[in-house]
Every structure is written in structure tokens, then in C-alpha cells.
Amino acid sequence: MMKNSCLLLSLLLLGVLTSPAYAEIEQYHLVIKNHQFTPDNLVVPAGKKVKIVVENQDSSPEEFESHDLDREKIITGNSKASIYVGPLETGSYTFFGEFNPKTAKGTLTVE
Amino acid sequence: MLSTALIVFREVLEAALIVGILLTATEGVATRGRWISFGLGAGLIGACIIAVFAEAIAEASEGMGQEIFNAGVLFAATAMLAWHNLWMARHGRELATRMKTVGQGVGENSRPLYMLSIVIALAVLREGSEVVLFTYGIAAAGTGTLPMLGGGLLGIAFGTGVGAALYFGLLRIPTRYLFTATAWLIVLLAAGMASQASAYLIQAGVLHALKPVLWDTSMILSEHSLLGEMLHTLVGYDDRPSAMQFLVYIASIIIVGAMTLAASKPVTLRAAGTTAVIVVSVVVTLSLISIPAHAAQQTYCCSTVDRVETKSM
């Protein structure tokens, strides 16, 4: 039992230590219209957790998907959805609309 | 038509693989057809209901309802699989003996198959609702119902085909090892689901990622290739998992694995209990730590866009 408690305590401590304090979360906006993303290149800072608000102005649903970011989220027609990403390393991350992959394409530039 | 076929195939594949494993796990049970059809039917109806309420779900929990819902569905399925294995660990041996002596057809009363029904219903509901929303989008665009229907059927046919191939492949395992093999496949399936659920909670900002990308094997095997996608469903393969996802995966294997072994060794059951308590405490603590992030967000933020919005209102 003692051993278990020690293990538990050290794991909790590990959790506290590895948790960075999020002072604030910045928001960035993306718009889907006519099955296209605007802007098609979104620039966000590196090393920070950010919130991307995607507004779907089309009447049909879309799925925001990114293999690079490991994110997927359905955004119903004429509605908004928020997606948290990061903290990310610098680089370029592609995303697309799974329901209209030919037209709905974009990149997230992290710098 | 081909794009519809592809998207439907990918959604159907996941559910079909799960059904394939569960069919193998219930080999020899006379009533399984009824239970599995019931799961499929309930899942399909559920998928339509979820699709109708997609917007309401999405808006719940401050816009994170979809992630919370998906995580809930996946955790529920994990729990059902774990429970099934625990039950099988207790009663599996007599079932196997009876199957060997009587041959096919273990009695109707012997197994609570509703647990597997629920797992199938949950899998179909989750994947199916995406298909419904997608096809609704195409229908709304008015690009022709016939190609869409054709594509959809093609996707369903191929997806089911892969599931069937898995089932018949697994049946080649000798009867003696069959239940042991399927039990461990279910352990991996459950662990993959739990890890995916934690990924949704991370996406929602509820759970801490610890480290967003623990490793990147997308160059070796993309999670979105056919093999990658199958492994994703079957064993929870992720080409860019977060540290938290990995932790949840390993913890689930230990917990569900211990439950699978529980019948023969009572000690393992206690060990599983202790591990469960520890793991749950760690995860809860880590989630609590990430909550201040939300609080801070409300008071401090926001970016210029939000200020503009506030002014214009």
C-alpha cells in the first residue's frame, strides 16, 4: 500500500511539473465559404496552445480535418466550431475539409 | 461517386472490423445473429438521430460537445469490452469445454451478449452519423442522388468485405485458442478506443496532452493509409500520438488485460483495481490542472477578432 501511495504521489507530482501554465489562449479565425478556407494560410505562434475558431458559412456540413495536427471536427452548416491545437513546433501543417477535399484546403504556418 | 465511395468505405471499415472481431468472439453462440443485428439496427437509428442533433451536440459544453460526446461513446464501448472480457474470463473455460464436446451451438442462455450489442451500436452510431452528415451535404448541393447512392453502396460493400475477410481469417485459429485470441484482440481494441477517447478530450482542451507528439511514424506507416486505418481500429495505431494518449493506451492494456486474466488469478484482479485507482487519479489530476487554462482564457483573452465582435454587438 505504501509503495502504491508513493507511486501515486510521484505521478501526481510529475503531472504538476509537466503542466505548463496557460496564461492566455489566443484565438484565430478561419472561414469556410463555397467549400474553401479563408485565409488558406493561417499563421500562429510556435510553442503556444491556440484556439482556432472555424466558421462554416456554407449551408452544408464540413469536417475540418488535419492529419498533421491530428484533429477532426464536424462543423454543421452555418455554424462555428472551436479547435484547440498546440503547443506546436515551427513548421507547416496542412488541413482540409474532408467532405470537400478537392476545394477545401489550407495550411497552418507555425512560426 | 468515387469520393462518396471512399468516405463511406472509411467509416464503414471501422465498424465492420469491430463487428468482425465480435463475431469471432461469439463463434458458436446460437443467438448471436439476433444480438449483432440488434446492435447494427440500433446503431443505424442512433446515427440518424445523432446527425439530426449534430448542431445541438456541437454547441454543448461551450462548443466542445462533439469531442465530449465522441469521448463518452468511446469510453462506454471500452467499458463494455472490458466487462465482456471479465465475464468471459469467469465463464469462458466451461464454454470452450462445452464447445469442444457438444461441437457448435452453445446454449442460448449462457452469455450476456447485450454488452457486445451495445459496442456494435456505439461503433455504428459514431461512424454512421458522419456518413449521414456527409451524404446530407452532397444531397443539399444537389449533385445527383444516383451517383451518391451508388458510391455509398460501393463503400458499404467494400467495408463489409474487409470485415468479413477479418472474420473468416480469424476463424482459422484452432478452436482451442480461439477465445484466448479474441479476448486479447478485444483488449487491444478496447485500449485503442480509450486512447482515441483521450485524444478527443485533448482536442476539447479538457485533458492535458503532456506532450502533443510523442513520436511521428507517419512517414513509415500513415494512419490514413488502408493498413494504417485498419491498425488504428484494431490495435489503436496512431502515427502521431500524444504522451497522454500513450499513457491511457498502456494503462488500458494493463487494466483490461488484468481483467481478462482475472478468473484464474484473484491476485491480478486486486492488482487491476489498484492500477485502475492510480491511473484514474493521475488522469483526473492532470485534467484538473488543465482547467485553469479555461478560466484564464475567459478573463484574460482575447485576440483582436473577439474584441471586434464584442463591439459590433
Residue closest to A46 by CA, chosen among A93, A94, A87: A87
Q: What is the pLDDT of residues B7-49, one digit of tens each?
A: 899 999 999 999 999 999 888 888 888 999 999 999 999 999 9
| Number of separate domains in chain B | 1
Question: Within a domain: residue A46?
Answer: yes
Please give the residue range of the domain that contains residue B25.
Answer: 2-293
Residue closest to A76 by CA, chosen among A101, A96, A55: A55
| Number of separate domains in chain A | 1
Do the Cβ atoms of B293 and A49 come within 8 Å?
yes
Question: Within a domain: residue A12?
Answer: no
Residues 20-79 on A with a CB inside 8 Å of B are 21-29, 49, 51, 53, 59-63, 67-68, 70-71, 73-77, 79
| Residue B195: its H or E element | helix B175-203
Question: Within a domain: residue B298?
Answer: no
- Cβ-based contacts of A5 with chain B (< 8 Å): none
CA distances from B105 to A24, A55, B26 (A): 61, 55, 10
- The CATH number of whichever domain residue A84 belongs to comes to 2.60.40.420
Cell triple for A40? 488558406
C-alpha span between B185 and B119 (Å, rounded) = 14
- The CATH number of whichever domain residue B242 belongs to comes to 1.20.1250
Q: In chain B, which residue's Cα lies nearest the Cα of A100?
A: B3
Q: In chain A, which residue's Cα lies nearest the Cα of B69?
A: A73
Question: Within a domain: residue B302?
Answer: no
Please give the residue range of the domain that contains residue A99.
Answer: 23-110
For residues B256 and B190, the answer to whether their CB atoms sit within 8 Å is yes
Question: Within a domain: residue A1?
Answer: no
Q: What is the pLDDT of residues B72-123, one digit of tens each?
A: 999 999 999 999 888 888 776 666 666 666 555 455 455 678 889 999 999 9
CA distances from A65 to A42, A56, A79, B174 (A): 15, 14, 16, 42
Do the Cβ atoms of A12 and B240 come within 8 Å?
no
For residues B165 and B19, the answer to whether their CB atoms sit within 8 Å is no
CA distances from B47 to A14, A57, B28, B66 (A): 40, 24, 29, 14
Question: Within a domain: residue B306?
Answer: no
Residue closest to A89 by CA, chosen among B246, B203, B216: B216
Question: Within a domain: residue A32?
Answer: yes
Question: Within a domain: residue B105?
Answer: yes
Question: Within a domain: residue B303?
Answer: no
Instruction: Select from B14, B62, B270, B278 the residue whose CB has the most chain A CBs within 10 Å, as the one to mutate to test that interface.
Output: B278
Mean pLDDT computed over A30-38: 95
Question: Within a domain: residue A15?
Answer: no
CA distances from A78 to A34, B132, B285 (A): 12, 17, 37
Selecting from A11, A25, A61 the residue whose C-beta is nearest the C-beta of B282 gives A11
**What ipTM was predicted for this assembly?**
0.73
Confidence band for B308, pLDDT divided at 50, 70 and 90:
very low
C-alpha span between B230 and A91 (Å, rounded) = 29
d(CA A6, nearest CA chain B) in Å? 11
Measure the CA angle with vertex B235, ends B178 and B13; round to 5°: 90
